[in-house]
A = this chain, B = another copy of it.
Amino acid sequence: MPETPPRPRRNLARARNEALILQAAEKVFAEAGFGGATMQLIADVAGLPKANLHYYFATKEELYRRVVQTIFEIWLQAASAMDGTDDPAQGIGAYIEAKMEISRRHPNGSKVWASEVMHGAPVIQDYLETTLRDWTAGRVALIHRWIASGRMAPVDPEKLLYMLWATTQHYADFNHQIETLNGGKPLSDAQWQEATEAVKSMILRGIGAL
C-alpha cells in the first residue's frame, strides 16, 4: 500500500489552515490589491510561515482565485431571494436586503471582486461569460414577466440590475469613504438599517413597484 489515506486529524488541520489562509488572503488582497499583496504579509496575518502558504496553495494566483470564487458563490446564493414570488417589490426588496447584508458582512470579498473586474477580470473571465451571463439572462426574463403583468414600470432590466449591484456593493467597496463622511465612524446597526430601507425605497419607487 504505497498510498496512505489522510487521517481525520490531518484533514482537520488542513481545513483549519486553509480557512486561516483564505481569510487572511481576502483581507490582504482587499487592502493592497493583487499586485500589492505579498505572500509574506498574508502569512503574517494568518500566523503561519510563508512556506506553508506555498504548501497549501502552489501559487499566489491559485490562492487569489479561491478568494474571488468565494464571494461570487455567496452572491449567487443571495440571488435566490428574487425567486418564488410574483411581486417585484417583494422579490427585489428581498434581493436588496440580502445584497446589503453581504456588503456588511463581506466587504473585503466585494472589494476583491471589484478589483478583479476593474482590472479586466484576468482570472475569472470564464465566470463572467458563463455563470454570470446565464444568471443575468434568467433575471432579465423574470423582470420582463413582472413588467408584462403590470406590476412594475417598463424599465430596462439590465440597467436595473446594474443599479442594484452598484448601489448595494457601493456600501462595501466604498465603505472607507462612507465612514469618513460619517465622521470617521463605521455605520451603526441603525444606520445600516436606514441605508437598506433608503435603497429599497428609492429603487422600488423608481421602478414603479411601490
A115 pairs with B33, CB closer than 8 A:
yes
Of the candidates A118, A159, A170, A202, the one having the most CB atoms from chain B within 10 angstroms of its own CB is A118
Chain A facing B: main interface SS: helix
Chain B residues near A132 (CB-CB < 8 A): 177, 180-181
**B interface footprint on A112-124 (CB within 8 Å = 1, 0 otherwise):** 0011011111000
Query: Interface residue tally of chain A, by bracket?
Result: 35 or more
In this complex, what residue of B is CB-closest to A125? B180
Q: Which B residues lie within 8 Å of A66 (CB)?
A: none
B198→A159 contact, CB < 8 A: yes
CB of A81 within 8 Å of the partner chain:
no
Residue contact A170 to B166, C-beta cutoff 8 Å: yes
- The B-contacting residues of A in range 102-159, CB under 8 angstroms, are 111, 114-115, 117-121, 125, 128-129, 132-133, 136, 153, 155-156, 158-159
State A92–B136 Cα separation when bound (angstroms).
29
Alpha-carbon distance between A128 and B32 when the two chains are bound, in angstroms: 19
Are the CB atoms of B34 and A155 closer together than 8 Å? no
Please measure, in the bound complex, the distance between the C-alpha atom of A111 and the C-alpha atom of B118, giving whole angstroms.
7
Say yes or no: A198 contacts B156, CB within 8 Å: yes
- What is the CA–CA distance of A185 and B115 in the complex, to the nearest angstrom? 21
Across-interface contacts of A202 in B (CB, < 8 A) = 155, 159-160, 163, 203, 206-207
Report B-chain residues with C-beta under 8 Å of the C-beta of A119.
30-33, 36
